[in-house]
A = this chain, B = another copy of it.
Amino acid sequence: MTDGRNLRRRVTLKDVARDAGVSRATASLVVRESPMVADGTRARVLGSMARLGYVYHRGAASLRGRRTQTLGLIVTEVTNPFFGELTTGVEAEIDKKGYVLLLGHSHDSLEQQARLLRTMFEYSVDGLLLCPAPGTTVNDLEVLAGLPCVMIARRVAGAHQAGYVGANNRLGAELATRHLLQHGARRVAFVGGPVYSSSRAERAQGVEAALADAHLALRPEWSVPSPSTWEGGYEVARRLLRRSHRPDAIVSYNDVVAFGVLVAALDMGLQPGADVLVTGFDGITASAHQKPSLTTVSTQPRELGRRAGWQLTNLIEYTTAEPEPDIPAPVLVTRESCGCPPAPKGHSL
């Protein structure tokens, strides 16, 4: 006895066509829901498909049709839930437009990113969503050769063909800082973020702008870069808060860094929200779940992903020459860490 499972040939459109007594082209039209098929014929073909257990072979379709309905997403970090939430948003958006997601993690490595780009290209993705690893240049993107592409959260200078979706870094940091000033802060520090990143620079500018309006300045020794990790925030905050002349407020580069700042303060016997005011940036779910809960500039990561997916599918389907950057307005979510009362139950952004 041989194994029936292995012998069973894949059911093809040809089989369906024969069974239904039509040509392959007609069967193909039915699969693709073309209106140009007579109702009776369509019903007959659908019946055969169901009876024979036909499943559409997208690989074959795309070889001929030049579209894979496949999108690549390359994210960098992985310890940061921001990227997880973003990915969810992307998937939700493209799924409803009939695309599927090919996922890769570059771990902030240029080599790994280059490999992934090539792989995605080999798989003939219809378009690409990329959170570029730090140090990415236009040259690194040349392999893409005209493939529709949208950058997320980080920009690559000179990549004009590519779309962009990201937070308004400057405005966001400005909002946070202004709010802290209203709460009486006068000695504001800015903590975390990769040294030479554009996003860190932009956020720092926002802090400075808000301070300037209050006739204050960001002291250079209080603008401290760090890895964008919990540990980064923890270490820097410890150092800053240990001094006798210490900041009375800390604007953090992102939420994960802010979490480290919160714990550092608590470990030193300082109450965030009272002894030192703290804000984050991103608005990941966990920001609502800290104790004290974290005031943050929400970029609504899920929504950001959704928009990136939207922009990319548009780029593919309508081929704009130079897409408009999509930079949604950030919203300040006030919670305990800046001295505000906790948000009402169930409230989240």
Contact = CB atoms under 8 A, between A and B. Distances in A.
Contact of A79 (B70, B119, B285): B285
Contacts of A121: 55
B91 A84 contact: no
Nearest to A285: B79
**In this complex, which of A62, A81, A266 has the most chain B Cβ atoms within 10 angstroms of its Cβ?**
A81
Contact of A57 (B56, B122, B262, B285): B122
Contacts of A145: 5
Interface residues of A, number: 50
A218 interface: no
A260 interface: yes
A124 B55 CA distance: 10
Contacts of A190: none
A87 interface: yes
Interface in A44-69: 55-60, 62-63, 68
Contact of A63 (B59, B78, B87, B119): B59
Given A79-B285, A103-B101, A122 B55 contact: yes
Interface of chain A, main secondary structure:
helix
**In this complex, which of A57, A83, A118, A123 has the most chain B Cβ atoms within 10 angstroms of its Cβ?**
A123
A260 B289 contact: yes
Given A78-B88, A87-B103, A123 B58 contact: yes
A100 B119 CA distance: 8
A102 interface: yes
A105 interface: yes
Contacts of A118: 55
A260 B267 CA distance: 20
Contact of A123 (B88, B100, B122, B230): B100
Contacts of A286: 81, 286
A164 interface: no
A123 B59 contact: yes
A112 B102 CA distance: 18
Contacts of A81: 81, 84, 286
Contacts of A123: 58-59, 70, 100
Nearest to A293: B263
A220 interface: no
A101 B100 contact: no
A349 to B, nearest CB: 14
A134 interface: no
A146 interface: yes
Nearest to A116: B95
23 contacts: A5-B146, A55-B118, A55-B121, A55-B122, A57-B124, A58-B122, A59-B63, A59-B123, A59-B124, A60-B63, A81-B286, A84-B84, A91-B104, A91-B105, A95-B104, A100-B104, A102-B103, A103-B103, A230-B289, A231-B346, A266-B291, A267-B291, A286-B286
